[in-house]
Amino acid sequence: MRIVFFGSPAFAVPAAEAVARDHEVVLAVAQPDRPAGRGQKVQAPAVKVWAEANGVPVAQPQRLRGPEGDAFLERVQVLAPDVFIVAAYGKILPQALLDVPHLGPFNVHASLLPKYRGAAPIQWAVIRGDEETGVTIMRMEAGLDTGPMVAVCKAPIGPSDTAGALFERLAVLGAQLMADTLPAIATGKATFTPQDEAQATLAPPLTKDDGHLDFSQPAERVSARARGVDPWPSAYALLDGAPIKLFGARVLATQADAAAPGQVVSADREGLVVACGPGLLAFSEVQMPGRKRLPVEAVVAGRGLMPGMKLV
């Protein structure tokens, strides 16, 4: 089949690779290059890098509506694609664009729809303490991740899983599921299951404030929050008014003895142990203001952390 592939971050690359093995990707559409990282150097999205390395033409429209959107629509129509494949593209496709492929537009969504519709399904599944997530292939329509489902594959969420670790696993899982589903789409044998609107939940984009930990909550919930915002925006707490970032959260079986939530119980090679309400949480790495991310024992050696300190 002739495919126009829409995707931007690294999550989408395995899906692009999978569909390109047996089909012709006639165009890869990605978000525009943007500044990223501490130096704010302009970087190309991962899908653009993949496309250029594989001789696939690339488009990076700033807008999909208005004059620029009209010109892009004409370009895609000329290509006469059979299907669109969309994976973490980052823009909502207007109906005129969705109507172009004669077999339809299909999305690789990293949740068990209708749960977690929106931009950050993996992160919110971890933050909310779910024990299971997965990938859904759906036929796209004008609504936000509301289209009928074609295929679903489940995956467990482990007690130490971060959003970043799940991104990598679900990217591979979604790529394989998309590749396995395309033959049924091509032959008209795919079945479409409507989503249950009563079960729908949203997964809005994360903000930096979502990384602020509340140690008055139970340790399990604080751990879920810390792991769900790893790698971005990263978990943090305030120490003497300055933010420190916290990584590698794990819930401890022991309980704090009369320690207030947020109090540092110990800081050594075993990690930074902080009291929660209730429970204890250990972090293996920290990043002090203006410093590099380091194992806790290295920061302790530099006299940056000690028992009795309060994180808020």
* H or E segment and range at residue 67: helix 66-79
- Structure tokens belonging to residue 119: 């931009």
CA angle 130/133/138 to nearest 5° reads 140
- Integer Cα distance of 104 and 268 in angstroms: 56
Q: Residue 64: which residues within 8 A CB-CB, separation 6 or more? A: 72, 91, 92, 93, 94, 97
pLDDT of residue 203: 97
- Structure tokens belonging to residue 281: 């949480």
pLDDT of residue 253: 81
pLDDT of residue 186: 95
Q: What is the mean pLDDT of each run of 10 residues along the chain (312 residues)?
A: 97 97 97 86 96 98 96 97 97 96 97 97 98 98 94 97 97 98 96 97 97 97 98 96 96 80 91 94 94 90 82 96
- Integer Cα distance of 272 and 264 in angstroms: 7
- Integer Cα distance of 73 and 79 in angstroms: 10
- Helix (H), strand (E) counts: the chain: 8, 17
Task: Answer yes or no: are the C-beta atoms of 121 and 102 closer than 8 Å.
Answer: no
Task: Answer yes or no: are the C-beta atoms of 274 and 281 closer than 8 Å.
Answer: yes
Task: Answer yes or no: are the C-beta atoms of 256 and 280 closer than 8 Å.
Answer: yes
Instruction: Record the pTM.
Output: 0.94
